[in-house]
Amino acid sequence: MDVEKFQFKGYQKLLYTNNSPDILNVVYYHLQLNAFQPGSDMDIRLQNIPDPDRRMVNNLGTKENPVYQSRIAELKPNEIGYQKVISLSQNGKKVDYEVIGTILKVVLNEPIKPGDKATFEMEFEAQVPLQIRRNGRNNREGVALSMAQWYPKLAEYDDEGWHISQYIAREFYGVWGNYDVTIHIDKNYVVGGTGYLQNPQEVGHGYEDKNIALKLPNSHKLTWHFKAPNVHDFSWAADPEYLHDMILGENGVELHFFYKNNPETNENWKKLQPKTAELLAYYNKYLGEYPYKQYSVIQAGDGGMEYAMCTFITGGRNLGSLIGVTAHEFAHTWFQFLLATNELKHGWMDEGFTSYISSMAENEILDQKLENPNEGSYNGYYRLVASGVEQPQSLHADMFDYNFAYSNAAYSKGAVFLAQLGYIIGEENLSETLKTYYADYKFKHPKPNDIKRTAEKVSGLQLDWYLNLWTQTTNTIDYGIKDIRDKTIRLEKIGTMPMPLDILVTYTDGKKELFNIPLQEMMGHKPTKATILPSWSWVNPSYSFQTKKQVKSVEIDPENRMADIDKTNNNNF
């Protein structure tokens, strides 16, 4: 790494195993730093989307009448990002390749047969762009190097074929591998990131065993050697002013913290450390055990972004925000780095599930005592519906017409998918579903059907209707109370998405009774103490039932777990 010019030279040796049943004649790599150039697809998209990411634009207008300018379009040649392939060989022989935006297409000399291996060797040169999005140099908090999406990275090939979306905005999908990474950088830089440092005594900077003498080399650069088994990405950050702390979490996992020495925020970064250990214990308990030996919380990047065994977060935050962002990014480890769903196609399974569990974790760890920790996600979903620009969750993440529509579909509606699943199958079944899902699908890139099947097997209930309508359509839920005539209650289904119903009836004598109307499609109902009524088929727009006593009031879904878009007709108060 040349820390003056922000350029680096790389050598990559990749031993690739074709685990597919297909013969491969081409392979593809991502060259994601190429996105940070004027005229790139990322730049053009940024200039044309009506609500660009504010971090990526300058506002030349006013707050009320913004005029956005793409920051990528303004980059000078010494500020852009690039990855240039200098040489590439397959099994020792030069191989042809073509660069198409952020994708490198390699036409193989000899096909790779199912089960066979090939070795690719590449020399490349790269420049770290000014920090625009996620990675880059000199972020707004003065972190020198946020090194994500920094190396030519093999694309994923699976039962759907190659996954080679241009790097426009959204997130990632990767190939499992064992990484062995050596970084040569000026000796005053502190490095944190993915993997286990192999030579702590040769670098020091807080990694060393204090009881053994350091063996620092007599040169102006240090050599950092990391190994990271069974990950699908490798990221690192470096800065000469990092403070570096380490504490031990559950099962002896090393929790590292890298942050800029700043008297205003240092105390928050200290208080964050035991809370991160509590988060680890929470996710171990409610999802499944963290399988790696270290995790690093690193002040870098432009907000919060999850990476393998680490996260880049901005650090100038109050304590609540610092813990909140860490809770979210750390939870991503389970969904993005262990289950490893394709986020470009199923962003809701990553962002949504992460939001769900991190809200639950924050509620416990910060002792928030919230009745519904995911209320914010429900509200985000309601805003999305009201906006009129909702598109189905199953849309490719880059293709949403508005960033607003993507983020609310992925984060809010995705979190509600789980919170509402708890309403449908019962909270204990949901909890069991999450643990079983993790146990069965970690390291396997699960798809939407896998979470549905897990929930079906755990609960014994049929859920195809839920997966289809919630994730592939913009259908909405709206039930209402039509009328109440002494002991007869008539309900109506106004919305286009059916649901099972919890109905709380208060009698004129002041006593209450909870009823449950199963959805016929589910072939059963959740475990509940409620009085079970005959099921309601989705084809019927209305439903009525009789009570034994005179009715005073009726309330649909008294716990507010069903995402009914019009609650005004949910009770007769």
Only one of the segments 23-31, 183-191, 344-352, 446-454 lies at the binding site for Zn ion (rule: CB under 5 A); that segment is: 344-352
Minimum CB separation of residue 436 from Zn ion in Å reads: 23
Q: How close are the terminal C-alpha atoms of the chain, in Å?
A: 68
Minimum CB separation of residue 350 from Zn ion in Å reads: 7
Nearest residue (CB) to Zn ion, 29 versus 334:
334
Pairing of strands 294-299, 310-313: parallel
Only one of the segments 5-13, 343-351, 418-426, 526-534 lies at the binding site for Zn ion (rule: CB under 5 A); that segment is: 343-351
Minimum CB separation of residue 458 from Zn ion in Å reads: 25
Minimum CB separation of residue 193 from Zn ion in Å reads: 19
Nearest residue (CB) to Zn ion, 41 versus 351:
351
Whole-number Å distance between alpha carbons of 350 and 353? 5
Cα→Cα distances 303→170, 286, 300, 311, 536, Å: 14, 26, 8, 10, 46
Strand partners, 98: 105
Minimum CB separation of residue 409 from Zn ion in Å reads: 13
Minimum CB separation of residue 393 from Zn ion in Å reads: 15
Only one of the segments 204-212, 256-264, 346-354, 367-375 lies at the binding site for Zn ion (rule: CB under 5 A); that segment is: 346-354
Minimum CB separation of residue 32 from Zn ion in Å reads: 18
Nearest residue (CB) to Zn ion, 54 versus 94:
54
SS (H, E, C) 451-517: HHHHHHHHHCCCCHHHHHHHHHCCCCECEEEEEEECCEEEEEECCCCCCCEEEEEEECCCCEEEEEE
Nearest residue (CB) to Zn ion, 302 versus 351:
351
The answer to whether 286 and 434 are in contact (CB under 8 A) is: yes
Q: How many CB atoms lie within 10 A of CB 436?
A: 17
Nearest residue (CB) to Zn ion, 352 versus 422:
352
Q: Phi and psi (nearest 5°) for 457?
A: -65, -40
Nearest residue (CB) to Zn ion, 43 versus 306:
306
Ramachandran area for residue 101 (φ above 0: left; ψ -120 to 50: alpha; else beta): left
Task: Name which of 396, 390, 395 is nearest 408 in CA terms.
Answer: 390
Nearest residue (CB) to Zn ion, 195 versus 304:
304
Nearest residue (CB) to Zn ion, 66 versus 303:
303
The answer to whether 192 and 255 are in contact (CB under 8 A) is: no
Minimum CB separation of residue 307 from Zn ion in Å reads: 12
Site for Zn ion in 347-406 (CB under 5 A): 351
- For 54, the 3-state DSSP assignment is helix
Q: Phi and psi (nearest 5°) for 407?
A: -70, -35
Whole-number Å distance between alpha carbons of 134 and 344? 16
Minimum CB separation of residue 356 from Zn ion in Å reads: 11
Minimum CB separation of residue 164 from Zn ion in Å reads: 23
Whole-number Å distance between alpha carbons of 561 and 559? 6
- For 90, the 3-state DSSP assignment is strand
Pattern 460-499, Zn ion, x by CB under 5 A: ----------------------------------------
Distance of CA 451 to the CA centre of its chain: 16
Nearest residue (CB) to Zn ion, 351 versus 390:
351
Cα→Cα distances 278→76, 247, 257, 318, Å: 45, 12, 15, 19
Minimum CB separation of residue 135 from Zn ion in Å reads: 16
Size of the site for Zn ion (CB under 5 A): 1
Burial of 390-408, coded b for 16+ CB within 10 Å and e otherwise, reads bebbbbebbebebbbbbbb
- Here the tokens at position 570 are 């949910």
- Here the tokens at position 298 are 């690193």
Nearest residue (CB) to Zn ion, 81 versus 347:
347
Minimum CB separation of residue 302 from Zn ion in Å reads: 13
Which one-letter DSSP state was computed for residue 522? G
Nearest residue (CB) to Zn ion, 82 versus 295:
295
Minimum CB separation of residue 355 from Zn ion in Å reads: 7
Pattern 299-338, Zn ion, x by CB under 5 A: ----------------------------------------
Nearest residue (CB) to Zn ion, 70 versus 333:
333
Nearest residue (CB) to Zn ion, 141 versus 351:
351
Task: Name which of 569, 548, 370, 418 is nearest 480 in CA terms.
Answer: 569
- For Zn ion, the nearest residue by Cβ is 351
- Here the tokens at position 303 are 């907000």
- Interaction site with Zn ion (CB under 5 A): 351
